A and B are shown apart, each in its own frame.
Chain A
């Protein structure tokens, strides 16, 4: 499903400044787009708006423009949650735990129960999601006693298991270790072509590994929107809002080097 925003703006309270202003972007069906920017850039608000949670919760806020999700056009935004067409994983994982189920397995199953498929038929699906995120050993644990990273993996699992055509992730890389992060990258790559993914982050690594296009926001405005290649070429422009110094070094080394390795890296990131 394609996601398209047309001149979308939003302010929570009319007396306060807009948190998202005049955002126009389109993410093709099955593509993966990263939203990067510092705290307060409006990343979370944007994701909430697309998911429908913003329209459902903040009827007092004012929005302008339009958001389309697949064939459906919403002006200015959906006013109810679009689950299971759209799945959003909130930034703070402990909030995503329902509290209505006692084990990690049942917590994941809970998402399926809500879309009224026969959850018993989906054991395989649940087990496979747990394996892909490396939490199968936590199957019978109480969700609230998990460590920070384990909890983050669980919340990703509760969404991935329903396979929504549009997946929105708010800073999914927080508190993940090396293994979990590579699992996440692998999953995002596998979803390419089938699921439209938007995820936010405040540093560029995950975006460079897994995204097709990169949207950079600051103070609610779009600073830049383009493919990964142009992002990597113009890194210098973003150094005030993103930690890109190390990446600038990488690009510098890459441009000077003509070794086989360098060529492979360039090809991998579309810089060839």
Chain B
């Protein structure tokens, strides 16, 4: 079964929400679920190979950050219980538990949010925001900003090509790459500005006044499901707080 964008969003939001009140064991399991969803499910299929790569890289970063947190907290936060010695370092059980708690929640929270964005083209997300009632002007600003962000790496690559094609040995030379990156920064900003003014005019010339019509009609069943998921998790949350 394939979820629609809205229910997909609701599911991700629920997962992220759960991170706030589940014990770390459950968070860890859900975190693994997120990874499995990203890799195997149809609903959360990443939009492109680079997106998938970026997601995996982010996961690796999250996990190492998590381990680091457990490590540091275990070392530094003393509790009532005695320390256990591992590899000549003394770890406190309370510190370890606290570290695990924070790390697992953080891992679940960020991966759940990222899961949604890795598998949703920004335009579909904009549609969703529109259905939820966000003003069209704001949506168009979000869209245009992401458009420039999307274009930026391509533009930088083009300038690097252009510099290489005129004798600057950029490839494989890290220092030079960094240096020429800084040297193109201001022209890059300027050219982006000029281009955004021009493109703004071109958009106006095509009748665009900031309203972004959704690229596909709203799927009612998907929305019902989304509201169901969201309200269930809300009820769960209330129950948890009340308890």
Whether A and B touch (Cβ < 8 Å) is answered with yes
Q: Interface residues, chain A, CB within 8 Å of chain B?
A: 51, 53, 56-57, 81, 83-84, 87-88, 90, 95-96, 98-102, 106, 110-111, 113-116, 119, 144, 158-159, 162
Q: Give the size of the chain B interface in residues (CB under 8 angstroms).
A: 23
Checking B199, B213, B215 against A99 with a beta-carbon cut-off of 8 angstroms, the contacting residue is B199
Q: Interface residues, chain B, CB within 8 Å of chain A?
A: 121, 123, 143-144, 147, 151, 154, 195, 197-199, 201-209, 212-213, 215
Given contacts A95-B199, A99-B199, A102-B123, A110 and B143 within 8 Å (CB-CB) = no
Q: Bound state CA distance, A115 and B213, in angstroms?
A: 11
Would A99 and B206 count as touching, CB distance under 8 A?
A: no
Would B199 and A84 count as touching, CB distance under 8 A?
A: no
Would B205 and A113 count as touching, CB distance under 8 A?
A: no
Checking B151, B198, B203, B205 against A51 with a beta-carbon cut-off of 8 angstroms, the contacting residue is B205
Would A99 and B151 count as touching, CB distance under 8 A?
A: yes
Residues of A within 8 A of B151 (CB): 99
Would B206 and A95 count as touching, CB distance under 8 A?
A: no
Residues of A within 8 A of B206 (CB): 83, 96, 98, 110-111, 114, 158-159
Nearest Cβ in chain B — how far from A114, in angstroms? 4
Residues of B within 8 A of A101 (CB): 123, 215
Would A84 and B205 count as touching, CB distance under 8 A?
A: no
Would B198 and A95 count as touching, CB distance under 8 A?
A: yes
Extra 8 A-B pairs, beta carbons < 8 Å, given A83-B206, A98-B202, A114-B208: A83-B207, A98-B206, A99-B144, A110-B208, A111-B207, A113-B213, A115-B207, A119-B213
Q: Bound state CA distance, A99 and B206, in angstroms?
A: 13
**Chain B residue at minimum C-beta to C-beta distance from A113:** B213
Residues of A within 8 A of B207 (CB): 81, 83-84, 111, 114-115, 162
